[in-house]
């Protein structure tokens, strides 16, 4: 690989001169383009210099204006690099950091779990994260349109869109639950505490207690799951939750109304507030009796767990769950970056910051759970839980034991709301960007764009009503278990293989170098590490994870509490995951069928990037060097165009 400065110089020269006029395909890995129809250059167009067709008299004639192709509506850009960083951090730092990582950490050997966790981060999380950011930023396009770089793999973008749709469908239900708890937190005493009058009989009957007050509130008041027999019996819609879900979608609609110009400002609050709350909870937890037992339980290492494949699978699944890889949100947000943004720097900051937040949140969770175990006189393991059980049962019960419980409860659920909204911003941005790129007329018409966003949010609201029925938690668990399961792993595996071997890993690294010309030399050295991951380590680890998922899915029944899902329910979940990843095969067949020639010729043509893949690169350079045509008075008048000034720049560079 050439030194970075030489590559940047060559890139600037190429960008200034390469302005093809027709849709062509570029062979990956080299600079040879295959024109759809060859054109003959006129003498005045050779060497990239466009001369005036005639030399006029002293009275110059105005240049003829011929209508060109319709211009694409301009894409928005982030107001600053901090908006992008905060949006990505808010997207990655979600509910999984608070309610999933601490539980996985103590269940899989305490501090020992950090070893497989960071190995999976460095060999799968970081490389795939950088791949998504680079694809979006270089192509300046969403999850579907960006696959102009390899039309054969357009189905990856469609699959990302399907996964993101399923995630948005159930994720906002969590925000609706948070709204419900947030509203209930303004009551004193808290309705799930033993101080509430209706909970006194439950708390006094300590000999025959089956459920705590927080479990009763969660199962009966919020979910109503006690009124449902299972997946086949959803029951009526719970209208208090329906109002909360409507409020949640209204908030999302208003925050995304102006695209990244509005959501980019909201993240200054939503991405930073959870850190403030976690810090306050850690300080408060450290002052409580028994908190040290909770922290010890959280971090005590058990080295025997390293030999368990389940530990490594949990580490990998947490990386995917937390970083939001393969859903299209990262790719879409990166598409609004400036072309020369340093994606390697952003990848390191966001991924390390996300994992550090997960570890940091564990202290806030287990210090207070340790105090709860001390108050009850039971081991910490009996009060620890994961997922909704932690966020809406165990932790609220622990908060109810603190002095000033109303204040701490409001603060906690406000933090959960911020975490959920930020993550949903990224998923919704992935869907909106994909559609707006495919139908650019929506982007230029604010009225049509607003109508599209309103219909999208309302459609999600109507579909989400199934998840807030009496048996809605069964459907919620089904979608949650399979939407980001094997289908997501297959999508990311094909993305990694397609970029590495079809588009060309060397060409992809060169594209990254083109974008980060001002990066220090360590960026180039770090690219060698990422190249090795994309070609060898990441595909291998993804294959291992996929194999383990299939084995576990076959031998382990799906459960919610004591309810075991029927075979048809599990089959429905498998169909959801299969539908997402089958888009890769379907759209690959479509791409091959559109080409001509033998099957081998069709395949080779379908993996060559379209020339419009490099439009963002060319447009960026041309905007920086744009000079309006001028007229120079003399014996003869010559109309100077932008190409003449570009040629002058070439001469200046060559002389330098």
CB 417 within 8 A of CB 410: no
User: How far apart (Å, rounded) are the C-alpha atoms in residues 339 and 617?
Assistant: 7
pLDDT band at 305 (very low <50, low <70, confident <90, very high): confident
pLDDT at 13: 46
Report the mean per-residue pLDDT for the chain: 81
pLDDT at 180: 95
User: How far apart (Å, rounded) are the C-alpha atoms in residues 226 and 218?
Assistant: 10
Answer yes or no: is pLDDT of 62 > 80. Answer: no
pLDDT at 489: 92
Position 40 in a domain: no
Angle subtended by helix axes 486-497 and 538-555, to nearest 10: 160
Answer yes or no: is pLDDT of 532 > 80. Answer: yes
Residue 191 has which token pair? 């309705």
Position 335 in a domain: yes
User: How far apart (Å, rounded) are the C-alpha atoms in residues 213 and 398?
Assistant: 12
- Nearby residues of 398 by Cβ (< 8 Å), 6 or more positions away: 368, 369, 371, 372, 383
User: How far apart (Å, rounded) are the C-alpha atoms in residues 425 and 89?
Assistant: 12
Answer yes or no: is pLDDT of 195 > 90. Answer: no
Answer yes or no: is pLDDT of 55 > 50. Answer: no
Domain count of the chain? 1
Position 469 in a domain: yes
pLDDT band at 613 (very low <50, low <70, confident <90, very high): confident
pLDDT band at 314 (very low <50, low <70, confident <90, very high): confident
Domain span at residue 239? 87-591
Position 43 in a domain: no
Instruction: Assign residue 239 the CATH number of its domain.
Output: 1.20.1740
Instruction: Report, as an integer, the average pLDDT of 37-43.
Output: 38
Position 649 in a domain: no
Per the annotation, binding residues are 90, 93, 97, 322, 354, 419, 422
Position 329 in a domain: yes
Helix (H) or strand (E) holding 631: strand 630-632
230: left (phi over 0), alpha (psi -120 to 50) or beta: left
Mind listing the pLDDT tens digit for each residue in 444-455? 788 888 999 999
User: How far apart (Å, rounded) are the C-alpha atoms in residues 261 and 381?
Assistant: 45
pLDDT at 611: 78
Judged by average pLDDT, the poorest of 21-30, 205-214, 445-454, 512-521 is: 21-30
Position 317 in a domain: yes
Closest CA to 514 of 402, 435, 614: 614
CB 396 within 8 A of CB 192: yes
Mind listing the pLDDT tens digit for each residue in 146-160? 999 999 999 999 999
Beta bridge partners of 585: none
pLDDT at 207: 56
Q: Which one is predicted more confidently, 247 or 376? A: 247
Position 400 in a domain: yes
pLDDT band at 7 (very low <50, low <70, confident <90, very high): low
Per the annotation, binding residues for Na(+) are 90, 93, 97, 322, 354, 419, 422
> Is the bond preceding residue 222 a cis peptide, omega within 30 degrees?
no
The pTM of this model reads 0.81
Mind listing the pLDDT tens digit for each residue in 383-438? 766 668 778 888 888 888 888 889 999 999 999 999 999 899 889 989 999 999 88
Residue 300 has which token pair? 């005590």
């Amino acid at each position: 690989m050439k030194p970075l400065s030489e590559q940047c110089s060559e890139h600037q020269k190429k960008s200034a001169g390469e302005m093809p006029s027709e849709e062509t395909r570029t062979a990956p890995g080299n600079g040879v383009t295959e024109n759809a129809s060859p054109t003959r250059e006129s003498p005045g167009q050779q060497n990239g210099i466009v001369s005036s067709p005639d030399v006029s008299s002293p009275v110059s004639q105005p240049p003829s204006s011929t209508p060109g192709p319709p211009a694409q509506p301009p894409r928005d850009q982030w107001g600053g690099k901090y908006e992008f960083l905060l949006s990505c951090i808010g997207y990655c730092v979600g509910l999984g950091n608070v309610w999933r990582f601490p539980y996985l950490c103590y269940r899989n050997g305490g501090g020992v779990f950090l070893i497989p966790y960071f190995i999976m981060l460095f060999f799968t999380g970081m490389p795939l994260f950088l791949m998504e950011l680079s694809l979006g930023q270089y192509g300046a396009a969403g999850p579907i349109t960006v696959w102009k770089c390899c039309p054969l793999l357009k189905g990856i973008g469609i699959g990302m869109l399907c996964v993101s749709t399923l995630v948005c469908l159930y994720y906002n239900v969590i925000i609706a639950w948070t709204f419900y708890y947030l509203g209930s937190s303004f009551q004193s005493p808290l309705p799930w505490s033993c101080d509430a009058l209706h909970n006194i009989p439950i708390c006094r009957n300590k000999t025959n207690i089956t459920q705590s007050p927080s479990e009763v509130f969660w199962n009966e008041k919020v979910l109503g799951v006690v009124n449902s027999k299972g997946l086949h019996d959803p029951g009526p819609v719970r209208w208090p939750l329906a109002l909360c879900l409507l409020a949640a979608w209204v908030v999302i609609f208003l925050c995304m109304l102006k695209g990244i110009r509005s959501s980019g400002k909201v993240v200054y609050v939503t991405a930073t507030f959870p850190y403030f709350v976690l810090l306050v909870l850690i300080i408060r937890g450290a002052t409580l009796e028994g908190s040290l037992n909770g922290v010890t339980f959280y971090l005590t290492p058990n080295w025997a767990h390293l030999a368990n494949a389940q530990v490594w699978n949990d580490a990998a699944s947490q990386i995917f769950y937390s970083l939001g890889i393969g859903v299209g949100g990262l790719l879409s947000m990166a598409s609004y970056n400036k072309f020369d943004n340093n994606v390697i720097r952003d990848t390191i900051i966001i991924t390390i910051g996300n994992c550090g937040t997960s570890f940091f949140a564990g202290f806030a969770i287990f210090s207070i759970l340790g105090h709860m175990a001390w108050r009850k006189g039971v081991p910490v393991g009996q009060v620890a839980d994961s997922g909704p059980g932690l966020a809406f049962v165990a932790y609220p019960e622990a908060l109810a034991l603190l002095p000033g419980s109303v204040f701490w409860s409001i603060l906690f659920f406000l933090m959960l709301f911020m975490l959920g909204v930020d993550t949903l911003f990224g998923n919704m941005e992935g869907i909106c960007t994909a559609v707006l790129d495919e139908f650019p007329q929506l982007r230029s018409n604010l009225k049509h764009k607003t109508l599209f966003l309103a219909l999208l949010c309302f459609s999600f609201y109507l579909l989400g009503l199934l998840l807030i029925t009496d048996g809605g938690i069964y459907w919620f668990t089904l979608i949650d278990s399979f939407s980001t399961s094997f289908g997501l792993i297959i999508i990311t595996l094909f993305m990694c293989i397609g970029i590495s071997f079809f588009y060309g890993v060397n060409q992809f690294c060169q594209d990254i170098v083109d974008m980060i010309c001002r990066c220090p030399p360590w960026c180039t050295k770090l690219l060698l590490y990422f190249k090795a991951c994309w070609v060898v380590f990441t595909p291998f680890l993804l294959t291992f994870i996929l194999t383990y998922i299939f084995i576990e899915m076959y031998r382990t029944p799906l459960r919610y509490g004591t309810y075991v899902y029927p075979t048809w329910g599990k089959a429905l979940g498998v169909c959801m995951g299969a539908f997402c990843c089958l888009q890769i095969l379907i759209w690959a067949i479509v791409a091959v069928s559109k080409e001509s020639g033998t099957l081998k010729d069709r395949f080779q043509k379908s993996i060559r990037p379209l020339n419009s893949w490099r439009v963002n690169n060319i447009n960026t350079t041309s905007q920086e060097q744009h000079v309006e045509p001028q007229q120079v008075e003399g014996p003869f008048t010559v109309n100077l165009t932008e190409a003449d000034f570009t040629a002058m720049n070439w001469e200046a560079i060559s002389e330098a």
